Amino acid sequence: MVGVFLLASLILAPEALANFLTMKAGGSPNANQIDSLWKILLYMGAFVFVIVEGALVYSLYRFRAKRNPVAAQIHGNTRLEIGWTVGAAMLLVVLTVVTFIKLPSIINPPNSDADGLVLSASVTQPTPPNGKKLTVCIQGRQYIWRYTYGDSCLNDAFDAKLPYSYTTMEVPEHTTVVLKIQSTDVIHSWWVPSLGGKVDAVPGYTTYTWFKALHTGNFRGQCAQLCGTNHAAMDAYVKVVTPAQYAAWAKTQEQEITTASAQVSQLRQILTQQHNLGS
């Protein structure tokens, strides 16, 4: 009994049950739309399950062999058969309509809020209606994520002037962040569940997605496509801060990268002069 109780308290703990049947959401409008669409499907599925299984269990009990030694001979029921065919078709119609109503808010990015990061407009797809967004280019590679910040990363993600970071992406809240996703080796998959859907990083192609963080906080994700022996270690973190904090961070990051690059160039020069750097 104690064992059963302990097991039940582990399984039924709120932490264990959180998002057990439902999507992770709450970080971005697209993630919330995916979550609510999923819940509609789940509840409708649960309704059908209860009706069908209920009828089955009731029939097993009501018409059990002990009470009914001679089986009734039945040749179908036209009204019932038309009924459940039309009923199932109606359910599919409802699911289709609800899905198509929700799809645009999952696919198309909205405008940044007034207190979001102050951004210049850009015409590169995908784009919120007013064109203002923060672009982050994502490079997946075995086994780490690299992020380059700024509109011009669309031309060259390795532009020396742009700040970049590994593993943790720093972004401002209330700002539409458009992600341009690429891979430098095999197929990876970008997925931070609380911030939206899963998008593959495919070598030779560029895929896009977006999120708009509703509040500050830390969100965790992971490469969602088996990409090699160390795939499990390919974590992704998104740190959402205020627009002011983001601007300060980007500036510091830029300076630190410039300093570090200068030091590396200096070291390279010294090593080359001493013939310690292989040609």
* Cα–Cα separations (whole angstroms), residue 121 to 85, 127, 155, 227: 52, 9, 16, 36
Bridge partners (DSSP) listed for residue 210: 178
* Cα–Cα separations (whole angstroms), residue 142 to 128, 179, 203, 233, 248: 32, 19, 12, 10, 30
Q: Is 212 in the site for Cu ion (CB under 5 A)?
A: no
CA–CA separation, 151 and 154 (whole Å): 6
**Of 162, 213, 227, 238, which one interacts with Cu ion (CB under 5 A)?**
227
Q: Which stretch binds Cu ion (CB under 5 A): 28-36, 91-99, 226-234, 251-259?
A: 226-234
Which of 132/146 has CB closer to Cu ion?
146
* Cα–Cα separations (whole angstroms), residue 175 to 13, 146, 276: 35, 20, 48
Query: Please, what is the minimum distance in Å from the beta carbon of residue 143 to Cu ion?
Result: 6
CA–CA separation, 237 and 219 (whole Å): 6
Which of 162/181 has CB closer to Cu ion?
181
Query: Please, what is the minimum distance in Å from the beta carbon of residue 201 to Cu ion?
Result: 8
The C-alpha angle 42, 89, 94, rounded to 5 degrees, equals: 50
Which of 130/230 has CB closer to Cu ion?
230
CA–CA separation, 220 and 235 (whole Å): 8
Nearest CA-CA partner of 129 in 150, 113, 110, 116: 110
Nearest CA-CA partner of 108 in 88, 138, 87, 133: 133
Q: Which stretch binds Cu ion (CB under 5 A): 47-55, 127-135, 162-170, 187-195?
A: 187-195
Q: Is 223 in the site for Cu ion (CB under 5 A)?
A: yes
Q: Is 180 in the site for Cu ion (CB under 5 A)?
A: no
**Of 234, 238, 241, 250, which one interacts with Cu ion (CB under 5 A)?**
234
Which of 157/227 has CB closer to Cu ion?
227
Rg over alpha carbons for the chain, rounded to the nearest Å, is 27
Which of 128/140 has CB closer to Cu ion?
140
Which of 146/188 has CB closer to Cu ion?
188
Query: Please, what is the minimum distance in Å from the beta carbon of residue 137 to Cu ion?
Result: 16
Note whether 199 and 209 are within 8 A (CB): yes
Note whether 23 and 11 are within 8 A (CB): no
Which of 55/226 has CB closer to Cu ion?
226
**Of 172, 188, 197, 209, which one interacts with Cu ion (CB under 5 A)?**
188
Q: Which stretch binds Cu ion (CB under 5 A): 60-68, 108-116, 150-158, 180-188?
A: 180-188
Query: Please, what is the minimum distance in Å from the beta carbon of residue 140 to Cu ion?
Result: 6
Query: Please, what is the minimum distance in Å from the beta carbon of residue 203 to Cu ion?
Result: 12
Q: Which residues of the chain form contacts with Cu ion (CB under 5 A)? A: 188, 223, 227, 234
